[in-house]
Amino acid sequence: MSETTVAEVFDEAPLVERARSGDTAAFSELVNRYERKIFRLAKHITQNDEDAEDVLQETFLKAYSHLESFQGHSKFYTWIVRIAVNEALMKLRKRKSSRTVSLDEPTDTGEDTMVREIAVWEENPEQKYSRDELREILDKAVESLKPAFRTVFVLRDIEELSTEETATALDISIPAVKSRLLRARLQLREKLTKFFRRKGDDVFAYL
């Protein structure tokens, strides 16, 4: 059973209620349950292990400090994802860099109808590349996306949150989630197509 599936069937409500009542052991169990997923999310956004570790710690510190404000209208995991995303984006704002990172990418509120010329990939890429090589190629492509698109893609297609959960976590509308996800997928497909074309390979699209 996958980690995501386990998270979906796990009944977190009793632990959350105990944690809100001051049971530190219950909160520690929640941390153990979700810390790997939060770290992975933070690393995808910040693209840095040290920053991701800071985000992880700050996320659970803030979650613990504000447990009383969690009303249970969404899943606890969705709530801490929202905290983690905010912390990760703050890291990007503060980071000293020679390049400018846009955190306010304009996004349509409806379905995007972008049309791109994309080369046809004829073979399964796994026939030419190992699973580790494919993951490295995909990770680099994801990292090249702008934060607004990368975050939505990670939450929906990697962490497998629903559209509604992603909208809640990011405090944006459902149409905005769909629009950003479409743009992210199109950009990834275009980037990967260019990569494989440059390598002289004809491979089947797996996005």
Q: Do 139 and 86 share a structural domain?
A: no
Q: Is the pLDDT of residue 105 over 50?
A: no
Out of 71, 94, 117, pick the residue that ends a domain. Answer: 94
For residue 89, give the CATH number of its domain: 1.10.1740.10
Mean pLDDT value across the chain = 77
CATH number of the structural domain spanning residue 154? 1.10.10.10
Per-residue burial over 9-43, b = 16 or more CB atoms within 10 Å of its CB, e = otherwise = eeebeebbebbbeeeeebbeebbebbeebbbebbb
Whether residue 15 is found in the same domain as residue 89: yes
* Mean predicted confidence (pLDDT) in 139-155: 87
Domain assignment present for 111: no
Highest mean pLDDT: which of 49-58, 84-93, 112-121, 122-131?
49-58
* Residue 104 counted as domain residue: no
pLDDT digits (tens, 9 = 90+) for 13-50: 899 999 988 899 999 999 999 999 999 999 988 888 99
Bridge partners of 123, per DSSP, are 203
Closest CA to 56 of 44, 75, 40, 33: 40
Q: Is residue 108 part of a domain?
A: no
- pLDDT score at 140: 82
- Asked whether residue 81 carries a pLDDT value surpassing 60, the answer given is yes
Residue 190's domain comprises 125-198
- Report pLDDT for 192: 81
34-38 long-range contacts, Cβ below 8 Å, gap at least 24? 34/7, 34/77, 34/80, 35/60, 36/3, 37/3, 37/7, 37/77, 37/159, 38/80, 38/81, 38/84
Q: What is the number of structural domains in the chain?
A: 2
Residues 131 and 86 grouped into a single domain: no
- Within this chain, do residues 7 and 79 fall inside the same structural domain, yes or no? yes
